Amino acid sequence: MIRLRDYDRLLIIATLMLLVMGLLMVYSTSSVVALKRFGNQYFFVKKQLTYVLAGVICFVGATRVPYGFYRRMAYPILILSALALICIYIPGLGFTAGGARRWVRLGPIAFQPSEPAKLAVIFFLAYSLAAKQEKIKEFSIGFLPNILIPGVIILLIMLEPDLGTSIALASIVLLLNFIAGVRIRYLLYLVLAAAPFIYVVIHKFSYMMTRIMIFLDPWKDPEGKGFQMVQSFLAFGAGGVRGVGLGEGKQKLFYLPEAHTDFILSVIGEELGFIGVAAVTALYALFLYCGIKIAMKARDRHGMYLALGLTFMVVLQAAFNSAVVMGLLPPKGLPLPFISYGGTSLLVNMIAVGVLLNIYIHGNEA
């Protein structure tokens, strides 16, 4: 029988604290908007609580499934993921929200296929890199399949269009290949070859170019295209070191658009100040530490690559989101893991934590 002490308690603590912070901030950022739109100030936080409870179920289930299962199911999961991404183009299944066709609806359930696709790519890479470790330096065996196959998924995500998720996933692919020992020059050639393609995609989808221009100078159009970035800066500026107090922020009052989703960290900065943002950052740093520790203690290379991929999935997205709301990167539409409002991302991240803990359990048994 597996008891609490058999798990990595620091990872559980970090995850629980992020979830609690998420529930508090979703309520704080959405209550006024929810009251105006739906006549119920608890509308968004009740839905988020439902997602958290569903996430806990997924988490418990993932801790019980031996991680070797994902090695055997790597290709079937990857194929299902690709089919789900194609389903967004099928009338009656896929639908557009927020200006992009990223959603699939199955009855009352709507989800973003790009989120589970991240898991699928990590499952595949962990299996493939471990299986081909002895020939990892060879171009046709160690490099090409581990780039081309994930590349198909990344391309499907990019065409939604979702440049943020595709770049985050591509970063994970490059990191795992680098750690596995793929020749660095192959990876450098890949980045150079991809640059013109990314340039074409950015120019094809005008909203991407607009986001880059906003990033370069949001004050050029502070009441138009740059409005969200400017309001984010004002939120951080108003918060100072200690913040104005939980629930007392002003930017969420119809100034900062959709403050409960991608820009929730801005409200944390306003209401809880530098101290609140530093606390959130420390929790992600703790998550990174626990993930790397689990990877180093994994009983095989498959477990190590799987743990690293899942850890990078959470931490890199948190880093990208933080950089965006602080004006260090162009807006990408990436939620803050465990904290931003949304179901698909939360469920995927909770599954990732469950798999990490399963790797930890089996690593301690070795």
Q: What is the pLDDT of residues 60-92, one digit of tens each?
A: 999 999 999 999 999 999 999 999 999 998 888
Cα within 13 Å of Cα(310), Cβ side: 35
Look at residue 265 in the predicted model and tell me its pLDDT.
97
Question: 313 near 118, Cβ under 8 Å?
Answer: yes
The domain locations on the chain are 4-365
In percent, the amount of the chain with pLDDT more than 70 equals 96
Residue 2 has pLDDT above 60, yes or no: no
Residue 322 has pLDDT above 80, yes or no: yes
Grouping H, G, I as helix, E, B as strand and the rest as coil, residue 265 is helix
Rounded Cα distance, 282 and 277, in Å: 9
Look at residue 77 in the predicted model and tell me its pLDDT.
97
What the block records as the tokens of 230 is: 């400017």
Vertex 171: Cα angle to 169 and 173 (nearest 5):
70
Look at residue 98 in the predicted model and tell me its pLDDT.
64
Please state, in angstroms and as integers, the Cα–Cα distance from residue 350 to each residue in 125, 295, 307, following that order. 20, 18, 14
Look at residue 194 in the predicted model and tell me its pLDDT.
87
Residue 345 has pLDDT above 90, yes or no: yes
Look at residue 162 in the predicted model and tell me its pLDDT.
87
Please state, in angstroms and as integers, the Cα–Cα distance from residue 272 to each residue in 68, 114, 243, 292, 318, following that order. 42, 32, 4, 29, 18
Rounded Cα distance, 8 and 71, in Å: 23
Residue 1 has pLDDT above 50, yes or no: no
Look at residue 277 in the predicted model and tell me its pLDDT.
97
Would strands 100-106 and 109-111 be described as parallel, antiparallel, or unpaired? antiparallel
- In single-letter form, the type of residue at position 217 comes to D
Question: For the residues of 214-245, what is the DSSP string, one character each?
Answer: HHH-GGGSTTTTTHHHHHHHHHHHHHTTT-S-
Look at residue 336 in the predicted model and tell me its pLDDT.
96
198-201 CB contacts, 8 Å cutoff, 24+ apart:
201/158, 201/161, 201/163
* Residue-wise pLDDT tens digits, 180-199: 999 999 999 999 998 888 88
Residue 255 has pLDDT above 90, yes or no: no
Residue 14 has pLDDT above 50, yes or no: yes
Contacts of 96 (CB under 8 A, 6+ apart): 102, 103
Closest C-alpha to 102, from 353, 344, 298, 278: 344
Look at residue 258 in the predicted model and tell me its pLDDT.
76
What the block records as the tokens of 134 is: 């002895």
Residue 366 has pLDDT above 50, yes or no: no
Among the ranges given (2-11, 175-184, 211-220, 243-252), the one the predictor scored with the smallest mean pLDDT: 2-11
Residue 47 has pLDDT above 90, yes or no: yes
Residue 4 has pLDDT above 70, yes or no: no
Pairwise pLDDT comparison (246 vs 224), residue with the higher score: 246
Look at residue 99 in the predicted model and tell me its pLDDT.
63
Q: Where does the chain have alpha helices with state H?
A: 9-38, 43-64, 68-72, 74-87, 114-131, 144-158, 163-180, 184-204, 206-216, 227-239, 264-297, 301-325, 344-365
φ, ψ (nearest 5 deg) of residue 331: -55, 135
Chain-centroid distance of CA 351 in Å reads 12
Pairwise pLDDT comparison (274 vs 332), residue with the higher score: 274
Q: Is 85 exposed, middle or buried, given 0-12, 13-18 or 19+ CB atoms closer than 10 A?
A: buried
pLDDT band at 365 (very low <50, low <70, confident <90, very high): low
Look at residue 143 in the predicted model and tell me its pLDDT.
96
Question: For the residues of 113-146, what is the DSSP string, one character each?
Answer: THHHHHHHHHHHHHHHHHHTGGGTT-IIIIIHHH
- The neighbouring-strand residues paired with 104 are 94, 111
- On average, the pLDDT of the chain sits at 91
pTM of the prediction?
0.94
When pLDDT is averaged across residues 146-172 and rounded to a whole number, the result is: 93
pLDDT band at 302 (very low <50, low <70, confident <90, very high): very high
Question: For the residues of 179-219, what is the DSSP string, one character each?
Answer: HHT--HHHHHHHHHHHHHHHHHHHHHSHHHHHHHHHHH-GG
